[in-house]
Structure 1
Amino acid sequence: MSAFAFSVMTACVKLVSTHNIPVFEIVAARAIVSLIISYIDIKRKKIPVWGNNKILLVARGAVGTFALICLYYAVTTLPLAEATLLQYIYPVFTAILAFFFLKERIQRSTLICILLCLLGLLAMVKPNLSMSGETVLPWFSVFIALIGALGSGTAYVIVKRLSKVEDSSVIIFYFPLIALPLSLILLGDNFVMPDTQALILLLFVGIFTQIGQVGLTKAMQTEVAAKVSAFSYVQVVFSAILGLLIFNEVPSIWTLLGGSLIILGALINVFGSRKKTAVQ
C-alpha cells in the first residue's frame, strides 16, 4: 500500500507542475497537510510535541526538506521511473555515512550493492549522451536527483540516531515543521495561485504522502524490516506504470537494465543484512 501511495504522490507532483506550480510551493503544500496530520497524531498519543534532542530533530527536518526539494525537482524534470530509480540509490550514501558517523561496519552485501548501484547509474545515464552533447536525461536533473538521494541517506542516518531517544511521531512531525518555513522562504515572491485542479492535486500530494508513511510505519511494526524494504522497491514498477499511462513515458532498454542492477543491488543489501542479523 505504501509503495503505491508514494507512486501516486510523485505522479501528482509531476501533474501539478504542469500547472506552473513551483517546486517550493508543492513542498509547502505537502508540509501543511503533513504538519496537521502529524500534530493530531502526537496529541492522540499524548506525548510531548518538541521531543528531547531538538538540535538533531531540526537537522533531520532541514536535511529531509533539502532532499524532498531535490526529489520533487527530479520528478518534474525526469520521467517518473528514472526519477524514482535515482532516488533509490540512497542506500549507498546511507551505508557510507553510517560507517563514518555511526561507526557501523560496511558489510560485503553493502559493497556489492554500492557496485551494482553505480553500474546501474552508468547504464541509465551514459548511453543517453548524444553526439551533440545533449542527453535524453538532463544531466542537471540527474545530478539533483543524486543530491536528493544523498540527502535521504543523511536523513536516514539521523533518524537512526534519533530513534533511540525520540518517538517516531515526533521525528515525523519535525519534518513538515521545518519544511514549511524553509520552502516558503525559498518560494519568496514566486507564489502561483493554484486553480481548482491544481489545488486538488496539491491536497493529494499531502494525503498520499501521509498514507504512504502510515503504511510503511505499520509494515515495519508487523513485518521484518528487510521484507518491508524489499517490497518498497515495487514503487519503481508502479511509477513506471503511472508514467506510461499518464505521461506516455516509455522506459528505454538502458533504463530497464540500469534499474534492474540498482534494484538487484538494493535487494542483495537488504537480504544480506537480514541474513547476518539472523546468524548473530
Structure 2
Amino acid sequence: MFPLRSIALKLSSVFLFTIMASLVKASAEAVPPGQAVFFRSLFAMPIIIGWLAMRGDLRTGLMVKRPLGHFWRGVIGVAAMGFGFAALGLLPLPEVTALGYASPMLTVLFAAALLGERLRLFRMSAVALGLVGVAVVMWPRLTLDSLEGAATLGVLCVLASAALRALAQIHIRRLVATEETSAIVFYFSLTATALSLLSAPFGWVLPSGSVAAMLVGAGLIGGVAQILLTSAYRTAEAAVLAPFDYASILFAILFGMAFFDEVPGPNVIVGSVIVMAAGVIIVWRERALGLQRGKARANMTPHA
C-alpha cells in the first residue's frame, strides 16, 4: 500500500521547516545567528520531551552508549545551523533553499571518502549533475560584474552549511548503529542549546517582543517539524520520502514572494530543477543498491 500517511507527514514537516526558516530570516537583522540557534534549540526541547513521554521513550530513549558521538553530532549540527541561519539574513529564501540542495550530493562524496562506499559511474554522474545545478543557482552571485560582499558571503555560508549537514548525515549513519532515534533527536537539541550559548559574548542582544515571539515560534515549530519528519521515516522507505524534500523550494518561493518580496530569478528555477533531478536519481539508485538511509534521514533537519 502506498504510504500516503508518511508522505503527508513528510510534506507537513517540510512545510513547517520552511515556516521556521522564514521566522529566522525575519528576525535576522535583529539578532545574530548564534542567538537564533539558541532559541531554535531551546524551545524545541519541550516539544521533543513531550513527544518522548507520549511514546513511552522518555527513560529508555535517553540512554546512550556513545556520549561523545552525540557531542560531535551536536558540534557539527550547531555549526551547520549557524551558517544556515547566517545565510538566511544575506540571501533570498528560495536561493538559500536551492543552494542547500548541495547537501545530498556532498553526502554521497563524503560517504565514499569516510565510509568506504563505492562511488560508481552512475552515482558520480548524478552528483556531477547536481553540482552543476548548484553552480547555475549561485553563478550570478559570483560573476565579476555582480560580485557583492554580502551576497557572496551568503553563498559561502549556505555552502558551508550544506557541507556540514552532509558530514552530520555521515555521523548519524554511524550513530544509528548503536543509538535510539529518540536519543539522537533529544541530545542534539540539548547539545545545540548548550553550544550556542558559547556565542553569547559575540553580540547577543535583547530582542523586542515581536522578534522574541518569532524566535520562540521558530523553536516550537522546528520541534514539531522534527517529530513529523521522524514519524514519517518510521513507516516508509527513505527512497519513497526523500524526493518530497524538494517541495521546500515551492514553499520557499511562495513565502519569499509573500513575506519578503523576493522573486526568484531564472537561474534559481533552472538550477533547482537540475539539482532536484539529480537528487531523485541518487535516491532511487541508492534504493536499487539496497543502502539503508531511512534512520539517518529521520534525524536530519534543514540547517542542522
The TM tier, using the shorter chain, reads: over 0.9
Query: Superposed, which structure 2 residues align to 1:73-112 within 5 Å?
Result: 73-112=86-125
Contact 1:128 1:136 in 2 (8 A): no
* Partner residue, 1:61: 74
TM-score (ref. length: structure 2): 0.85
- The match for 2:36 is 26
> 4+ residue stretches of structure 1 with deviation over 6 A?
none
Which residue of structure 1 aligns with residue 284 of structure 2? 271
Shift of residue 267, structure 1, vs aligned partner: 0.9
Q: 2:76 & 2:152 partners in 1: Cα distance? A: 23
Aligned position for 1:140: 153
Over residues 204-253 of structure 1, what are the superposed CA-to-partner deviations in whole Å (9 max), with x where a residue is unaligned?
A: 11122112211111111122211111111101110111001111101101
Pick the aligned partner of 2:217 from 204, 225, 232: 204
Distance 2:102 2:264 in 1: 18
Aligned position for 2:23: 12
**Alignment-mate amino acid for residue 153 of structure 2:** F
Query: Residue type of the partner of 1:197?
Result: S
Confirm or deny: 8 A CA contact 1:117 1:261 kept in the other structure: yes
1:179 Cα shift? 1.4
Calculate percent identity across the aligned residue pairs: 26
Helix, strand or coil: the match of 2:117? coil
Looking at structure 2, the residues matched to 218 and 187 of structure 1 have their Cα atoms a distance apart, in angstroms, of 34
Superposed displacement of residue 132, structure 1: 4.0
What amino acid maps onto 1:163 in structure 2? V
Distance 1:108 1:223, change over 3 A: farther
Query: What's the counterpart of residue 35 of structure 1?
Result: 45
Which residue type is aligned with residue 82 of structure 1?
E
User: Retained in 2: the 8 A contact 1:30–1:205?
Assistant: yes
Kindly report which structure 2 residues correspond to 1:198-237, keeping only aligned pairs within 5 A, or say none: 198-237=211-250
- Code of the residue aligned with 1:236 in structure 2: it is I
Which stretch has the larger CA shift, 79-88 or 109-118? 109-118
Q: Supply the AA of the counterpart residue of 1:32.
A: L
Give, in angstroms, the shift of residue 86 of structure 1.
1.2
- Equivalence for 2:179: 166
CA contact (8 A) 2:48 2:227 kept: no
Aligned 8 A contact 2:107 2:170 in 1: yes
Unaligned runs of 5+ in 2: 1-11, 292-304
Cα distance between partner residues in 2 of 1:129 and 1:98: 29
TM-score, with structure 1 as normaliser: 0.92
Tell me if 1:3 matches 2:20.
no
The superposition leaves residues 138-191 of structure 1 with CA deviations (integer Å, 9 ceiling, x where unpaired) of: 112111111111100010111111101101111111212221222111121522
The answer to whether structure 1 residue 184 and structure 2 residue 197 are counterparts is yes
Q: Find the aligned partners of 2:139 and 2:231 in 1 and give their Cα distance.
A: 39
Q: Is the 8 A contact 1:56 1:162 kept in 2?
A: yes
Contact 2:111/2:170 (8 A) holds in 1 = yes
Gaps of 5+ in 1: none
Matched, 1:195 2:212: no
- Alpha-carbon distance in 1 for matches of 2:133, 2:280: 14
Separation in structure 1 between the aligned mates of residue 122 and residue 280 of structure 2, nearest angstrom: 9
Task: Give the match's secondary structure for 1:12.
Answer: helix
Aligned counterparts of 1:201 and 1:122: Cα–Cα separation in 2:
32
Contact conserved, 2:25 with 2:89, CA < 8 A, in 1? yes
Note closer, same or farther for the CA distance 1:130–1:110 as it changes in structure 2 (3 Å cut). Answer: closer
